């Protein structure tokens, strides 16, 4: 097993959320009927950005500190590249759950985070 990294967590998040039906707002995860479940529950069918991060951290056996690093990368990308200053104060949850945020934007944010993590430079 390889050591989890920011890039591997973000790549797993991108895979998890790659299909619009697998993304949600308002809860970390939902089952197929739309009920709230834990992100690591076998019944989980869709995740928010935090839920997908939690799922990947657990799947990959990542150390606790990696969560903060992954979140920092995504927040840095969001601050620098999203034109929604009011949402920045609320962090990733507010961005994910905003009625204006689309699935495509969340996937793009994660992809930019992957590029940032791989190169160490703005995407």
Q: 3-48, pLDDT tens digit by residue?
A: 899 999 999 999 999 999 999 999 999 999 999 999 999 999 999 9
The structure tokens listed for 64 are: 């606790």
Task: Spell out the domain ranges in the chain.
Answer: 6-114
Alpha helix locations (H) across 47-102?
49-59, 65-81, 85-88, 91-97
pLDDT of 74 higher than 60 = yes
CA dist., res. 36 & res. 82, Å (int):
28
Residue 93 CB neighbour total at 10 angstroms: 15
Cβ contact 45:28 at 8 Å: no
Element (H, E) at 46: strand 44-47
User: Among 56, 53, 45, 50, which residue's Cα sits nearest to residue 91?
Assistant: 50
Q: Poorest-confidence range of 26-35, 82-91, 96-105? A: 82-91
* Model-wide pTM > 0.85: yes
Task: Name the band, by pLDDT with cuts 50, 70 and 90, for residue 1.
Answer: low
């Amino acid at each position: 097993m390889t050591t989890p990294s920011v890039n591997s967590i973000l790549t797993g998040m991108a895979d998890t959320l790659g299909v619009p039906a697998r993304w949600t707002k308002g809860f970390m995860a939902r089952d197929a009927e739309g009920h709230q479940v834990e992100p690591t529950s076998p019944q989980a069918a869709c995740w928010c950005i935090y839920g997908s991060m939690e799922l990947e951290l657990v799947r990959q056996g990542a150390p606790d500190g990696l969560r903060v690093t992954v979140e920092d990368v995504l927040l840095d990308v969001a601050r620098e590249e999203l034109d929604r200053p009011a949402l920045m104060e609320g962090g990733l949850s507010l961005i994910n759950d905003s009625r204006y945020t689309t699935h495509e934007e969340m996937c793009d944010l994660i992809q930019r985070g992957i590029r940032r993590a791989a190169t160490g430079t703005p995407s």
